[in-house]
């Protein structure tokens, strides 16, 4: 384990009545840090990780019921392959946040870099700032909530799930979308290939509100744009260059 001793405390964001393990990152090998985190998680401890220095590959492959908070910014791939952990990042996150996660909950109190939630299949990622380009690329399910603005080409080739942006979206939004949905309140730079805006039904809005409600983000005054696939790319003719050469 880390040289930093475990302490007992009450932390609302983690376990309110549990042993809290403090782990320092600094310049230590990430393999050692990862071993410390896994050991604390298996012991059922809440975990606080300090001196993160925006290091890469922190909190990868965390098990179900693990609760962990990173006090600073993190680098690439934090929370990747998450299998049910609750992860809180106090500042910003680099590329590939929560990539390929299968369940769990990740909260970023700052901004997230490129490809947050890439290929995720379930769970929730909540980004309180902006999200970088290609947010939710290739995602298969789950929810990504961005309180700020989506970067360009977010939702690219998304096969399922919902990306919900409260602060608008950049260029080429929802390019080559499949069966995923991108919901945007605010301005959109432009739509990507085969993306279309549809008027959401009351039932569809209620589904989004149910996702936002636990986060305290429901606002009935929002003018939602629901973006889905126009389905031209689903059954295109190979000789119809206008349908597929722009991808």
| pLDDT per position as a tens digit, 104-130 | 999 999 999 999 999 999 999 999 999
- pLDDT of res. 102: 97
Average confidence score pLDDT of the chain: 91
User: By mean pLDDT, which of 43-52, 95-104, 148-157, 230-239 is the weakest?
Assistant: 230-239
pLDDT at 11 over 80: no
pLDDT value of position 19? 86
pLDDT(65) > 50: yes
Closest by Cα among 137, 142, 224, 199 to 172: 137
Cα–Cα distance between 136 and 117 in angstroms, integer?
A: 5
CA proximity to 139, closest of 159, 111, 162, 163: 159
* pLDDT bucket at 4, cuts 50 / 70 / 90: very low
| pLDDT tier for residue 242 given thresholds of 50, 70 and 90 | low
Q: What is the mean pLDDT of residues 186-196?
A: 96
Q: What is the mean pLDDT of residues 146-172?
A: 98
Non-local (6+) Cβ contacts of 20 within 8 A are 6, 7, 8, 9, 11, 14, 45, 46, 47, 48
What integer pLDDT is reported at residue 9 of this predicted model?
A: 34
Percent of the chain scored above 90 by pLDDT?
A: 85
Closest CA to 162 of 146, 176, 142, 187: 142
């Amino acid at each position: 384990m880390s040289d930093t001793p475990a302490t007992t405390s009450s932390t609302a964001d983690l376990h309110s009545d549990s042993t809290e393990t403090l782990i320092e990152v600094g310049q230590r090998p990430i393999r050692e840090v990862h071993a410390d985190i896994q050991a604390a998680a298996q012991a059922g401890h809440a975990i606080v990780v300090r001196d993160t220095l925006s290091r890469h590959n922190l909190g990868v492959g965390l098990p179900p019921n693990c609760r962990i908070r990173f006090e600073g910014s993190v680098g690439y791939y934090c929370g990747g392959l998450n299998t049910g952990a609750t992860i809180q990042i106090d500042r910003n996150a680099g590329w590939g946040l929560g990539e390929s996660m299968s369940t769990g909950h990740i909260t970023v109190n700052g901004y997230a870099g490129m490809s947050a939630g890439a290929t995720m299949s379930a769970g929730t990622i909540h980004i309180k700032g902006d999200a970088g380009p290609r947010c939710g690329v290739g995602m298969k399910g789950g929810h990504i909530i961005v309180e700020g603005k989506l970067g360009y080409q977010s939702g690219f080739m998304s096969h399922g799930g919902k990306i919900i942006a409260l602060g608008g979206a950049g260029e080429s939004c929802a390019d080559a979308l499949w069966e995923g949905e991108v919901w945007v309140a605010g301005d959109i730079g432009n739509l990507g290939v085969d993306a279309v805006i549809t008027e959401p039904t009351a039932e569809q809005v209620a589904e989004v509100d149910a996702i936002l409600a636990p986060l305290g983000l429901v606002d009935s005054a929002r003018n939602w744009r629901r973006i889905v696939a126009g389905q031209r790319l689903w059954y295109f003719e190979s000789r119809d260059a206008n349908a597929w050469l722009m991808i």
